[in-house]
Structure 1
Amino acid sequence: MVLPTKLKAQNDGAVAAGIAGGLLAIGAGIAAIKQMEEQAELKATQYILANHPELSSFSLKTLDFDGKKLKDMSAVSVISYKIQEFTPEDKPELNGKKQVLFAFTSQGWINQNGIDFDKITWYLIDKEEWMHMMVAYVKVSSSEKDESTLESTLKEGRVVNKGVKVKSKLVIPFFKLHGDMYVVTDYSEDMKLVYNERSLGIFLKATKDLVQMGRGDLIRIHEFLFADEG
């Protein structure tokens, strides 16, 4: 079938307009994500300045905004920030203490105006605290209960979907659970740690929110904190 030239031109124009509109929408989504990332990073910096005066020279960088889509942002339950201290000098190196700042979100933290920071709970940890958390998490997720064994294995390896791997070997396998099964440990006065097969759950006692951390986030945090070891 041969389309009349005018009709074909109209169709081509409509297709081009649709593609252009789609690209504009994608561009707007990317811009909105970038704006939220910058807004949240500024707020994280303000939190550190207001609450941790011991940090007088530091770098703060968002760990996990990369690859996020605008439509998925409302489902995000934790944003992580890498923090590392340094000695002020010309062209300083990041070689000081490392910490991770968590921004735990509550339902409705994103609205038409952007981010509602009243619905974010901040939690700063260093590598010792992270190791304690991971030991408690793996302890409740597996049959291995010896904490010294857990700590030494975690220092050498990393948490993956099926357990703790050292290099390519699964050293500590996790329990196999159904998707609607949970195992809980009362970790601290602030939180409980929750294991199921999909993620690390952190139940915040103050807000009664259950936030989920994917395995990829666990790996990135662990590698950041322990990159200089092993």
Structure 2
Amino acid sequence: MRKLLLFLLLIVVLIPKATAQNDGIVAAVAGIAAIGAIAMSIENMKEQAELKATEWLLNDEPDITSFSLKTLDFDGKKAKDMSAVSLITYKIQEFELAEEPEVNGKKFVLFGFTSHGWISDYGVDFSRIRWHLIDSEEWMNMMVAYVKTASNQTDDSSIKEHLRNGKIVNRGISERSKTTIPFYKLEGDMYTVADYNNMMKLVYNERSLGIYLKETSNLVQIGRGDIIKIHDFFYGAK
């Protein structure tokens, strides 16, 4: 990316500006260069956030001593405004030390809940991120509570079985392209809520999973694709 940006900037300097056509070319190339600079800035922000996630894990989870940490999604929410509340997710997996270690140990997902103003003209304020680590069991518990909030199903064992064999889509839980647990068809201004734990409430609205953080009074709606990614990470192919 850096080489491409340098190349585009050299074109801007070297292309003659004698004609309107040349001016148009220069303007177009300058626009491409600006897009490249923005892409580099976002990539740098991702790298900084991944470093902060690693630092949090080292500080708060000292028992996890050999692990792989990768960004699952840098903006796992439905809204587009990244300066507002958003969600960053990381997939973490332990491994045994060896000459050629294989990443095949216990899996975790780290949530990074941001709050309003975490990105501003002055840069990124990582102190506005609240971290929360979960394993496959906690994810299953969250999804069971969510399904019970979004449907008329109440039996935990039955819901877990459907979740292990399928995935959550817009309409409910789908197994082999068939909806086995349908969700309520709510309007945009209708909500159902489950008080999940001391940290969060789970909210069902417009076929979306919302997490309401009690500490910051922020509501984040997680994109359906991100729910599927997390579920596949925990319960997909071994």
TM-score (structure 2 length as normaliser): 0.88
SS of 1:63's partner is strand
Aligned partners of 1:61 and 1:82 also within 8 Å = yes
Deviation track 1:86-124 (CA, whole Å, cap 9, x = no partner) reads: 011122111000000000011001112332112110000
Distance 2:204 2:75 in 1: 25
Distance 2:56 2:75 in 1: 22
Distance 1:22 1:175 in 2: 46
Q: 2:128 aligns with which of 96, 119, 122?
A: 119
Distance 1:12 1:100 in 2: 52
Count of equivalent residues: 220
Residue of structure 2 equivalent to 1:221: 230
Point out where structure 1 has 5 or more consecutive residues left out of the alignment.
Answer: 1-8
Distance 1:110 1:43 in 2: 15
TM-score (structure 1 length as normaliser): 0.91
AA partner of residue 219 (structure 1): I
1:198 is displaced (CA, Å) by 4.5
Q: 1:140 to 1:66 in 2, by over 3 A?
A: closer
Alignment of 1:88-167 (within 5 A): 88-167=97-176
Residue of structure 2 equivalent to 1:5: none
Point out where structure 2 has 5 or more consecutive residues left out of the alignment.
Answer: 1-17
Deviation track 1:122-148 (CA, whole Å, cap 9, x = no partner) reads: 000000000000000011101111111
1:67 is displaced (CA, Å) by 11
What fraction of aligned residue pairs are identical, expressed as a percent?
58
1:75 is displaced (CA, Å) by 4.3
1:82 is displaced (CA, Å) by 0.3
Residue of structure 1 equivalent to 2:5: none
Deviation track 1:176-213 (CA, whole Å, cap 9, x = no partner) reads: 01112111000011110000114211011111111121
Q: 1:115 to 1:140 in 2, by over 3 A?
A: same
Distance 1:41 1:111 in 2: 19
Residue of structure 2 equivalent to 1:170: 179
Aligned partners of 1:179 and 1:198 also within 8 Å = no
Alpha-carbon RMSD across the aligned residues, in angstroms, is 1.9
